[in-house]
Chains A and B, each alone.
Chain A
């Protein structure tokens, strides 16, 4: 048996501690004291704090530390090695607004989704829904990894963007959670891991954040957003409707950041237009290859068609409508960004087909 240690506790009143006379010489150290920002109708927002020196966002952030913008930096601190240090490489004028929107319009899958509304579904439909959930959960994993992999390389001088991307990572985590929960709550389970080249393309995009944004927003983001709109329309219960409608809002913020950043960057650097266009062309080409794999295509057709029987005609027709809508939205955004390329320059999978029938 181990011997018990003698107690260090002493009895009686402890001797008074010696506290050195405070000098308070850290006080009165501020680059701008007396700042008083008031809340507006949306509360005290991040964007509203950009007053005086605190609102100065320089074109290049040379501080290699974690210094909050506007604070007095430590001298002689070791550099951390941020690589995205220029405003043009990450800035989006609406980043602070999008951050605030993400925080204020949050939702929780555990409590905001009416899970009890899910009833038993035919096996083919449940299996297809579970496969779609598996694919979207995988997309979410990739988003988390891509966003966080770039986030830590960005200078703290552009905290609006870093904070917004933190919410986008959380959005992706929540997306993962919600679709995993849907797959595991109605007698089904997760399906096949997707063979997804777009995932690799996004993960291995090392050239620059701007080029990565083009892939994550205009290729994957827009594809996911459009797919969720179609899934919303063909959902089988209120729980699915809630998930899809919340996810559409979440993803639209990431697309908004992407579009805003691309616009900001390309307006200041002519060469970026061609590199962004190239990245998008590669991304769309890989997405077209991914779509040759039947798993997602057939699963979506079954969901849209109400089962295997309906998938062959109605379901597949809706699937093609979905691709057309994705293409139209993608082309509209390209046009607005003055990016070269139209519908006919896209891979065959996305090109216009015969006029669609009235739905």
Chain B
């Protein structure tokens, strides 16, 4: 499990710390959030005290329904369980009692510039990105017309060279060689480069090049959702390759299925064009047009018609 401190959350979401500064080094271990509405109503059986607590407009309004004594007791109970931090959304006025307990327990109370639902989703995405389990893929990640494609294959098969050609054609490099990936949520795998390698591409015979300097800022993207994996391999006569594209191979990463293609390469095949075509075909399917199925339907109709004529 990755480690994250409240301080990093404060910086990441540009939160304003109102009290409890002494607790900014507290650790956040749970990527989920909690809105302690039930708890303010007096029910603490379900209090998720290992999560960051969000006080939204609803909780903020409800708080003022309580009499002073209940406010005091319940907020104290919220703090006593030592959650990592409290974050108030944009339009909630932070009650004095929170400030007092924040300083007493040294638990940060912060204020966001987002409204409740945006705060919830922004903070959730941030925590997922920081705390999600990470792994690496050996390959090159590119954004081709909005499709995140990881090119894999043995060392020396020409992954980086293909990437260079695709960058030259106007697509974006995300990561060369080492792609760090995590699952933001089921179905969404995000890839990015490790810090040292960001923007760099290694080309045999030339060396390490910075694509932003060579091709401009449009040639680089920080991170990208991965839609497909294209595996390049030397043409093998003994192997059967997908000819029609009616079936799709999938590869499972964490618990997300990713389309997986194997493209054989030879001198006569322009690999960059093949990868580009694979990405465009993926996009076309995503937009609702499946070339292979369309072809297949037309063919089946033709066969039926011919059968009738007999």
Instruction: Judge: A and B partners, yes or no.
Output: no
Mark A residues whose CB is within 8 Å of B: none
